[in-house]
């Protein structure tokens, strides 16, 4: 995603997609735009056909400083920014006023105009500020729709109670612009807390490497890639831009990461260096330490005599190369140490030898079933401390590690 908001400043300078529905309260949305802009947020406005009966695209556009989107089937708009992208290139979607009609459409997944299509296509949180006549608000259909939308995760602000434009009294008045602004910023703050690595980039190596001996044989390590892939997923969920460099594995790459597939250690190193600069590097791959010195062009034949000698050459150490990178060393480099005994002393030695910041030491004695299994028992070894974690599913180890990384970046 472009224009990512950085950790800590999501409350300021967020991207708001504002859908203005058709109601007398639409005039208050102009004031809302003014307040949002004053707070440094960027606002892109969508005006429904009914909304355009209350405010003009010109007044809305003058305040947002951007074009106002109105048509689902606009060739020029689709050429500039398709409706799917429009619904996602925002940090938050705000519907103000949210009419009974817009709520009904969104609750039922209708998509017959631009506003309802955007609400169905968005992957962002939605905040609605309802505004309608009190009888419409109290109608069983609206109450059903409200319950459905809340269950779908839509947030609401208002409506307030009071004298209505139609002369009746009761709930249905749209919340005041300042109140909507506060609700928007509260949601953005929650979002920022849930994405503590937003604005940071990470590279993760995962899986084994395959080192060819000839066209059909190779040297490899036992590695499913489950732990590395889970770490990539957890970092992406925490908001980091993740490049996952994976050797051959049977599992899918998690959503939201850039996948680079490699075969050999040397390809993995080249891909890791291409992924720099990065703030975070996590080397979870089980890289083959050696490769065949010569990769035979043809299948090596059994001759009936002694087996063909296999000369080995040492592979580059990707973790050490990243840790000692002369000018693009990631701020935090994390390695793994798979050990069958003396977990912490061996991990400490590795920390010093490789030059990384943290080592996740895992006990891979066969009894533990870590290789290929779903659980992992690890000790996080840093320069000054050792944290023994309980046996956890690999995705929870990943979640914890992402949390520790976020805490480290928050601290520094
Ligand atoms: O030396 P050892 O293989 O035990 O070190 C394990 C750590 O080093 C892991 O983080 C692994 O991803 C990394 N490593 C690497 N390149 C190598 C060998 C190991 O990045 N050639």
Q: For a substitution probing ligand 1, which of 314, 318, 340, 350 has the most ligand atoms within 8 Å of its CB?
A: 318
Residue 166 among the catalytic residues: yes
- The CA 289 to ligand 1 mean position distance, Å, reads 8
Listed in sequence order, the residues at least 6 apart from 270 whose beta carbon sits closer than 8 Å to its beta carbon are none
pLDDT at 9 over 50: no
The pTM is what? 0.66
- Banded model confidence at residue 371, pLDDT cuts 50, 70, 90: low
pLDDT digits (tens, 9 = 90+) for 297-318: 888 887 777 777 789 999 999 9
Handedness of CA 77, 78, 83, 85 (dihedral sign): negative
Element of type H or E holding 388: strand 386-388
Residue 93 · residue 118 · CB < 8 Å: yes
Listed in sequence order, the residues at least 6 apart from 273 whose beta carbon sits closer than 8 Å to its beta carbon are 321, 325
Residue 409 · residue 200 · CB < 8 Å: yes
Q: Is any atom of ligand 1 closer than 6 Å to the C-beta of 64?
A: no
Residue 293 · residue 239 · CB < 8 Å: no
Q: What is the pLDDT of residue 7?
A: 28
- Banded model confidence at residue 78, pLDDT cuts 50, 70, 90: low
Omega within 30 of 0 (cis) for the link into 197: no
- Banded model confidence at residue 368, pLDDT cuts 50, 70, 90: low
Residue 98 · residue 128 · CB < 8 Å: yes
Rounded CA-CA distance 119/83 in Å is 10
- The CA 411 to ligand 1 mean position distance, Å, reads 27
The boundaries of every CATH 3.40.50.10300 domain in the chain are: 193-411
Residue 226 · residue 253 · CB < 8 Å: no
DSSP 115-148: HHHHHHH--SEEEEEE---HHHHHSHHHHHHHHH
pLDDT digits (tens, 9 = 90+) for 167-176: 778 788 999 9
- The CA 317 to ligand 1 mean position distance, Å, reads 6
Mean pLDDT of 331-357: 94
Average pLDDT, the chain: 89
Q: Is any atom of ligand 1 closer than 6 Å to the C-beta of 335?
A: yes
- The CA 376 to ligand 1 mean position distance, Å, reads 18
Mean pLDDT of 364-373: 67
**Closest ligand 1 atom to the C-alpha of 288?**
21
Outline where 290-384 has alpha helix (H).
Answer: 318-323, 343-354
Q: What is the pLDDT of residue 5?
A: 28
CA distances from 282 to 206, 301, 328 (A): 9, 40, 15
pLDDT at 58 over 80: yes
The token pair at 99 is 């009419």
The boundaries of every CATH 3.40.50.1950 domain in the chain are: 15-190
pLDDT at 99 over 70: yes
At the topology level of CATH, where does 15-190 sit? Rossmann fold (3.40.50)
Does the domain at 193-411 match CATH 3.40.50.10300? Answer given as yes
pLDDT digits (tens, 9 = 90+) for 216-275: 999 998 889 999 999 999 999 898 999 999 999 999 998 778 999 999 999 999 999 999
Q: Is any atom of ligand 1 closer than 6 Å to the C-beta of 156?
A: no
CA distances from 394 to 250, 347, 372 (A): 16, 19, 10
pLDDT at 180 over 70: yes
pLDDT at 2 over 50: no
The token pair at 295 is 């990769």
Q: For a substitution probing ligand 1, which of 208, 225, 267, 285 has the most ligand atoms within 8 Å of its CB?
A: 285
pLDDT digits (tens, 9 = 90+) for 228-244: 999 999 999 898 999 99
Instruction: Name the residue with tokens 């499913």.
Output: 224
Q: Is any atom of ligand 1 closer than 6 Å to the C-beta of 283?
A: yes
């Amino acid at each position: 995603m472009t224009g990512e908001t950085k950790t800590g400043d999501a409350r300021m300078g967020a991207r708001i997609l504002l859908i203005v529905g058709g109601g007398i309260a639409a005039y208050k949305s102009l004031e809302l735009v003014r307040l949002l802009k004053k707070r440094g947020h960027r606002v892109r406005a969508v005006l429904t056909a009914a909304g355009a009966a209350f405010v003009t695209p010109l007044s809305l556009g003058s305040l947002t400083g951007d074009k106002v989107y109105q048509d689902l089937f606009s060739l020029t708009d689709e050429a500039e920014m398709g409706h799917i992208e429009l619904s996602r290139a925002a940090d938050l979607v705000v519907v103000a006023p949210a009419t009974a009609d817009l709520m009904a459409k969104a609750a039922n997944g209708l998509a017959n105009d631009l506003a309802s299509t955007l609400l169905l296509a968005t992957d962002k949180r939605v905040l609605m500020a309802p505004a309608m006549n009190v009888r419409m608000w109290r109608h069983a259909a609206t109450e059903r729709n409200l319950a459905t939308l809340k269950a779908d995760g839509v947030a609401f602000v208002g409506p307030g109670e009071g004298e209505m434009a139609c002369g009746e009294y009761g709930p249905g008045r749209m919340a005041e612009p300042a109140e909507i602004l506060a609700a928007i910023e509260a949601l953005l703050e929650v979002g920022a807390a849930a994405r503590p690595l937003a604005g940071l980039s990470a590279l993760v190596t995962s899986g084994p490497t395959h080192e060819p001996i000839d066209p059909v044989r190779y040297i490899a390590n036992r590695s499913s890639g489950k732990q590395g892939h889970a770490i990539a997923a957890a970092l992406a969920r925490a908001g980091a831009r993740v490049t996952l460099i994976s050797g051959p594995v049977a599992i899918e790459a998690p959503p939201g990461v850039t996948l680079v597939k490699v075969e050999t250690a040397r390809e993995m190193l080249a891909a890791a260096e291409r992924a720099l600069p990065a703030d975070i590097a996590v080397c979870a791959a089980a890289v083959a330490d050696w490769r065949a010195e010569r990769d035979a062009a043809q299948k090596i034949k059994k001759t009936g005599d002694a087996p063909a000698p296999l000369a080995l050459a040492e592979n580059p150490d990707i973790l050490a190369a990243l840790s000692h990178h002369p000018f693009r060393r990631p701020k935090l480099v994390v390695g793994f140490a798979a050990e069958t005994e003396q977990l912490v002393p061996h991990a400490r030695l590795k920390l010093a030898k490789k030059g990384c910041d943290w080592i996740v030491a895992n006990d891979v004695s066969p009894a533990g079933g870590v290789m290929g299994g779903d659980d992992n028992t690890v000790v996080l070894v840093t320069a000054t401390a050792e944290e023994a974690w309980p046996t956890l599913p690999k995705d929870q180890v990943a979640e914890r590690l992402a949390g520790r990384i976020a805490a480290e970046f928050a601290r520094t």
